[in-house]
Structure 1
Amino acid sequence: MSMKPSIMIQICKLTVFFLFISFSAKSVSFAEIVFEESNDDESKAFQSAMTEVNVYSESESEVAYSDYCSSVVPESVTNSKAYTESFGAFNGYETGYYIGGNGILNPKINTISNSFSFETRHVSKTVADGVWKIEGSLMFYESYHPIPSPFHLKLHGFWSEFSGNLCMVGTGSAYSKQGNLLTPAAVFRLRNLRDSSNITTLITGTLESLSSSDGVSYFEPISVVMFPLLNYEYTFDFREFTHQFSGERDGLKNLAFNELPSRRFCSMIMGHLNEFKLQYARDCSSGKQTCLPFVRLNGYLPHFLSFSSIRCSEVERRIRVLIEFRNTSHVRKYPSFNPNTTLIGEGTWDDRENQLFVLVCRFLDIGESWSNAHVGDCTTRLSFRFPAILSIRETSSAMGQLWTTKTANDSGYFDRTIFRSTGNHMVGVPGLKYEYTEFNRVKNLCLRKVQLLRNKGQSYPSGHSTDLKFDMLVKSSENKSGWGSADPLAIGDQLYKPYLFLMDLPGTMLERPVPARLMNVSYEVSITLQTPIDVANGVLFSYIEEKVEIRAEGIYDSETGKLCMVGCRKLGFDNQVFENASVDCEILLNFEFSPLKPNQIGGYITGSIESTRTSSDLLKFDRLEVYSTIYKTDQRKSSIWTTDHQSTKTMKPCAPTSNIGTWFRRTMVD
């Protein structure tokens, strides 16, 4: 099979890149890939991707240290052949973040990643008191070149443990915007690099080109920040701040640490401090600046909050984290950093309240350069917990709050903000229960319709069947149509756990009781509706899209296949606190599973979602008809999805091809 010329050219460029590195050194070591242990999955991916082929020279670069660094840290000579790879608070492999570098790097901090790595190879003590000779390399991964090809520099220099200054010079290789191979020379300076660090320690520095501004290898100055890992000293004594978290003792039951799936603090906390949906008070969308601990950027109100661990202590159950606000959900391979929308904090687990309490600080004096950036204003507080009881109004398995200790008249005051997990990650936890609260409504609307006689000779999905989860197509008489999913949250008072056998849990938990005929059930129903606004000759030109989220609970009859529930939907803004938002709980959901016959691979589900309000009520919506298909669990992956031809004909104009494809895939895999 022949390769396209463009691909061959890129491969040749990449080959030249590595050959250049090899022949630029007098003595070359073999390629070495370094993997670091980490409790943070995101940092693992970052280190794996960022640690490319590192080639070190045993001789010094042609750039003279004294020409650029003698005034920062005077040059000295080593007094021993012994060397190490760590120094100060650096452990030999550190990561940081940058801004700038136009000419070689993408200077924007909203790209896929603005990370870099700093790796030391030789660290030797010199005859000068407190001065160490350092040899190492810098690697910036986000270059302009279409093939991932890092901006790589080999550096040598000196560090003073008394002043905290590091100065290094060296040369390297990179690609220009036009794809030309360059040989830049640079000076690298860091400040505030000492033997230990705490919450306010922020190492800042610059990387500056030694070429003239009109030279082909010139790049604009790069500002960097780093968070050292070694010799970190936790700053806050939480006993002094207990009163500031007293408001979090609301009497709600939370899961204790020994009830959580993992018995390791760092893996448990960082496994869930991933991404959360922000929810604000009702008036935050009006443009007020009192909803965030920083000024809104470009006027937007962030929808998501994410955490990344810098350091975690298993013994002390303490953690150091970066807290980032984003406007979009993200799943990224490489980390990024924007000090304008990021906070830094120290947290500790409180065994009495079963919560993680975090003292949070801001990054200050952030400008076009990060040279003067520092950490301060530690008046923000954060709490994080795992609720032990879920309900129709609270379905998040992990949640927290963010607030300030400032008063409403103080500069920088903001209203309390709630964040919740975007999914239920606690399936199979024995201490987690579901509490039903809509008994009266279910009794009046569902129990009166229960069929007393069973359908003899026919079988339906049991209460533990994976077939209780299904996707759906919906349509209404108002010419609305769309698609959605119905996901069980709880069967009885236990969370729905169809894949429990895949989890590493005690054997006693795998024993399943024989389900009763009538079972309490709770569901989360998500629907996307489309309303055509310009139809000509049956062809859809455009539409208005509406998302509907319904939390429901009711009764499932395993002997008739009928599912009846009452539900609630939140009205208004999606990022509004559920308790503060307008809620419509006058909703009735009815579904009926067709019997599963031995000679058939599955059956259909039909049903409806309707409002129980009067026709004159402004919140009343038109009845939604629901269609779906189920398969026997052991045959679903090999089955071909089919549905009623008329339903398909009705839905097709309003559902984009990508969504229909998703519908097919989810039905086959789930």
Structure 2
Amino acid sequence: MVGLGKNYSKVVLKLNYSKNNTIYGSLIDGTLESLHMESDYNYFEPIVIMGLSQNPNYQYQLVDNVSCFSGERGGRDKNNIDINLSLSKLDRGVCFIFDGRTSVYELEYWSDYGSVNCSPLGGSIGYLPNWIAFRGVRCDQHSRKVQLLMGFPNPSSGMEFEFPGPNATLIAEGAWDEKDNQFCGVACRILANASVGDCSIGLSLKFPAVLSLRNWRSTVGEIWSKKDVNDSEYFGRIGFQSWERPFDPQGLRYEYTEIEEVRNSCALGEETAEGKGKSYPDGFSLDMGFDMLLRNTEGKVASGFLRPQFVGDVLYVQQDELKSNHSRMLNMSYRIGFTPPPDFRFGADAIYKFVHISAEGIYDRDTGVLCMIGCRHLDFQLNDQNSIKNGSLDCETRIKVQFPPLHAEQAEIAKGTIESRRSKSDPLYFESLQLSSNSITTTQAKESIWKMKLEITMVVICCGGLIFGVLFRGRCILPKRFRDSTYYWQ
């Protein structure tokens, strides 16, 4: 194709399509070249182009009779998931999961650092990835087969969720395994000449049917090398997981394991004189989750969030189903996360990029007190060295939150603490963190808006009275906030 570009520059676009209808012919290569002389102002160097073919006659070749347990992986499934959700529970099926959106998961390296190659891309990209991103390219709903891209963004770029270039991307095929209720696939390397290279990487993706304090991940998976351990391209198995759900599945439930421990360690059910006669949010209220600020003992501040996951046995997002629940004591599970700034000291000499805690406990509706036991995911770096994540948990964490009354006279906010139950000599011990919501409750916001509307109405009536010569005792009386502002009409 020949055409005109910016400033009337003449260009030629050349694209090469493969006649192969399989994954090996799914890449397009080409160039965009200038037709001007090199001495011309509008000349530019050729631009290399790589793309994906949308051939409607595409034939899946790598996933016939797919199984996540084919090939030599060695060892057992470290995700330790007993029951997975079936495809019938996953909303609109496998094509809904891979519908062109980019889903990002955190990587967890299971091999000993230095004993084997860790990166699935070798040393070609110059960094050890923290994330893996999936993007569906095409999907056959009938056969439940999917073609997808798997990218490994550069963590130092600050753009973790942007899909990377071809040197950090794999192209893959996958299909739903009915026997084990999981998605299984095979991934191939993309070569510099826009061709598909070695296809020796296996992958699996699961959706646990039961979540708990220690198995809190809504989506889990792994990738592994099918090559011999002595091969230069072999890499150790890598797990990945996500807090987020790409859908709201049917049948997902939560199993509480620490409720008795919470009862023994928290003074619940004791109504104070200060809180007597006040009402507090229901467990399914929007006010039960909020963005928060955390302050350590040195006065340094970090920002984060506190989000409900389950109220009793029901997903928090399904709020309408909970309005018939009037129990005083509610079992609840939470997700808590925050990002410590560089000067925010948290525990031993460890550098945390992100701290996330799964928690469960009891909420007392009559007092507004939430008390939980939490498991802190130990994804940290020591002494600025790129350590390998071991997936271990510190479940000696306690979280306590006091929610404000619904109709507080002043703009009260939720406050609480996150503290370690370990001894100070323990390397996982950390000083108590003070938490507070960084916004007022929805009830307070609605009441504030109502008051503001009333005052604006008073101003309109009052000023309208002035315009038409109707005065109240000879003058227009405005609310104080308007008398002290530019709204006051001299």
What is the TM-score with the length of structure 2 in the denominator? 0.77
How big is the shift at 1:267?
2.3
1:216 pairs with 2:41: yes
SS at match of 2:98: helix
CA distance in 2: counterparts of 1:351 and 1:337, whole angstroms: 32
SS at match of 2:232: coil
Residue matched to 1:432? 252
1:322 pairs with 2:149: yes
Q: Of the candidates 20, 24, 27, which is equivalent to residue 200 of structure 1?
A: 24
How big is the shift at 1:314?
1.6
Is the Cα contact below 8 Å between 1:397 and 1:426 reproduced in 2?
no
CA distance in 1: counterparts of 2:303 and 2:50, whole angstroms: 46
CA distance in 2: counterparts of 1:349 and 1:576, whole angstroms: 34
Residue matched to 1:296? 123
CA distance in 1: counterparts of 2:40 and 2:424, whole angstroms: 75
Is the Cα contact below 8 Å between 1:396 and 1:424 reproduced in 2?
no
Residue 216 and residue 400 in structure 1: after superposition, are their counterparts in 2 closer, same or farther (change >3 A)? same
Q: Of the candidates 444, 449, 474, which is equivalent to residue 264 of structure 2?
A: 444
Q: Of the candidates 428, 433, 447, which is equivalent to residue 624 of structure 1?
A: 433
Is the Cα contact below 8 Å between 2:172 and 2:185 reproduced in 1?
yes
SS at match of 2:244: coil
- Computed over aligned residues only, the root mean square deviation of the Cα atoms, in angstroms, reads 3.3
Q: Of the candidates 3, 10, 14, which is equivalent to residue 184 of structure 1?
A: 10
Q: Of the candidates 354, 358, 362, which is equivalent to residue 551 of structure 1?
A: 358
SS at match of 2:367: coil
Is the Cα contact below 8 Å between 1:313 and 1:319 reproduced in 2?
yes
Q: Report the residue type matching 1:281 in the other structure.
A: W
Is the Cα contact below 8 Å between 2:100 and 2:137 reproduced in 1?
no
Q: Of the candidates 395, 400, 416, which is equivalent to residue 237 of structure 2?
A: 416
Is the Cα contact below 8 Å between 2:98 and 2:139 reproduced in 1?
no
Is the Cα contact below 8 Å between 2:60 and 2:173 reproduced in 1?
yes
How big is the shift at 1:554?
1.2
Is the Cα contact below 8 Å between 2:205 and 2:220 reproduced in 1?
yes
Q: Report the residue type matching 2:39 in the other structure.
A: D
Is the Cα contact below 8 Å between 1:478 and 1:622 reproduced in 2?
no
Residue matched to 1:568? 375
How big is the shift at 1:341?
0.9
Residue 576 and residue 313 in structure 1: after superposition, are their counterparts in 2 closer, same or farther (change >3 A)? farther
Residue matched to 1:658? none
Residue matched to 2:424? 615
Q: Report the residue type matching 1:451 in the other structure.
A: E
Is the Cα contact below 8 Å between 2:330 and 2:364 reproduced in 1?
yes
CA distance in 1: counterparts of 2:339 and 2:434, whole angstroms: 14
CA distance in 2: counterparts of 1:389 and 1:557, whole angstroms: 25
Q: Report the residue type matching 1:184 in the other structure.
A: K
Residue matched to 2:97? 268
Residue 337 and residue 511 in structure 1: after superposition, are their counterparts in 2 closer, same or farther (change >3 A)? closer
Moved more, 544-553 or 295-304: 544-553
Q: Of the candidates 360, 376, 398, which is equivalent to residue 219 of structure 2?
A: 398
- Per-residue CA distance 1:292-339 (angstroms, 9 max, x = gap): 22223563111221122222112211111111110244556xxx6622
CA distance in 2: counterparts of 1:462 and 1:495, whole angstroms: 15
1:340 pairs with 2:159: no
Residue matched to 2:70? 244
How big is the shift at 1:432?
0.9
Q: Of the candidates 514, 517, 526, which is equivalent to residue 337 of structure 2?
A: 526
1:605 pairs with 2:405: no
How big is the shift at 1:457?
2.6
1:280 pairs with 2:109: yes
SS at match of 1:374: coil
Residue 205 and residue 451 in structure 1: after superposition, are their counterparts in 2 closer, same or farther (change >3 A)? same
Identity score, percent: 37
Comparing both chains, which one has the higher relative contact order based on Cα–Cα distances under 8 Å and sequence gaps of 6 or more?
Answer: 2
1:253 pairs with 2:83: yes
Is the Cα contact below 8 Å between 1:391 and 1:436 reproduced in 2?
yes
Residue 292 and residue 548 in structure 1: after superposition, are their counterparts in 2 closer, same or farther (change >3 A)? closer
- Per-residue CA distance 1:59-118 (angstroms, 9 max, x = gap): xxxxxxxxxxxxxxxxxxxxxxxxxxxxxxxxxxxxxxxxxxxxxxxxxxxxxxxxxxxx
Is the Cα contact below 8 Å between 1:282 and 1:581 reproduced in 2?
no
Q: How many residues are treated as equivalent by the alignment?
A: 429
1:172 pairs with 2:1: no
CA distance in 2: counterparts of 1:193 and 1:282, whole angstroms: 39
- Per-residue CA distance 1:8-50 (angstroms, 9 max, x = gap): xxxxxxxxxxxxxxxxxxxxxxxxxxxxxxxxxxxxxxxxxxx
SS at match of 1:200: helix
Q: Report the residue type matching 2:393 in the other structure.
A: V
CA distance in 2: counterparts of 1:430 and 1:577, whole angstroms: 35
Q: Report the residue type matching 1:252 in the other structure.
A: D
SS at match of 1:604: coil
How big is the shift at 1:568?
2.0
CA distance in 1: counterparts of 2:65 and 2:106, whole angstroms: 30
Q: Report the residue type matching 1:560 in the other structure.
A: T
SS at match of 1:420: strand
- Per-residue CA distance 1:192-232 (angstroms, 9 max, x = gap): 532x5101113333344333322333222233333322211
Q: Report the residue type matching 1:172 in the other structure.
A: L
Is the Cα contact below 8 Å between 1:596 and 1:603 reproduced in 2?
no
How big is the shift at 1:519?
1.5
How big is the shift at 1:522?
1.4
Q: Of the candidates 541, 561, 585, which is equivalent to residue 395 of structure 2?
A: 585
Residue matched to 2:457? none
Residue 514 and residue 237 in structure 1: after superposition, are their counterparts in 2 closer, same or farther (change >3 A)? closer
- Per-residue CA distance 1:457-516 (angstroms, 9 max, x = gap): 321111111111123333343343333321112211222126x56xxxxxxxx4643242
Residue 623 and residue 468 in structure 1: after superposition, are their counterparts in 2 closer, same or farther (change >3 A)? same
CA distance in 2: counterparts of 1:319 and 1:550, whole angstroms: 33
Residue 483 and residue 272 in structure 1: after superposition, are their counterparts in 2 closer, same or farther (change >3 A)? same
How big is the shift at 1:402?
0.7
Is the Cα contact below 8 Å between 1:480 and 1:529 reproduced in 2?
no
Is the Cα contact below 8 Å between 1:474 and 1:625 reproduced in 2?
yes
CA distance in 2: counterparts of 1:425 and 1:171, whole angstroms: 42
Q: Report the residue type matching 1:465 in the other structure.
A: S
How big is the shift at 1:394?
2.9
SS at match of 2:294: strand
Q: Report the residue type matching 2:316 in the other structure.
A: Y
SS at match of 2:317: coil
CA distance in 2: counterparts of 1:266 and 1:546, whole angstroms: 33
Q: Report the residue type matching 2:414 in the other structure.
A: I
1:478-493 aligned within 5 A? 478-493=298-313
CA distance in 2: counterparts of 1:437 and 1:272, whole angstroms: 35
CA distance in 1: counterparts of 2:145 and 2:334, whole angstroms: 36
Residue 606 and residue 237 in structure 1: after superposition, are their counterparts in 2 closer, same or farther (change >3 A)? closer
SS at match of 1:442: helix
Residue matched to 1:312? 139
Is the Cα contact below 8 Å between 1:280 and 1:577 reproduced in 2?
yes
Q: Report the residue type matching 1:494 in the other structure.
A: V
Q: Report the residue type matching 1:295 in the other structure.
A: G
CA distance in 2: counterparts of 1:515 and 1:316, whole angstroms: 46
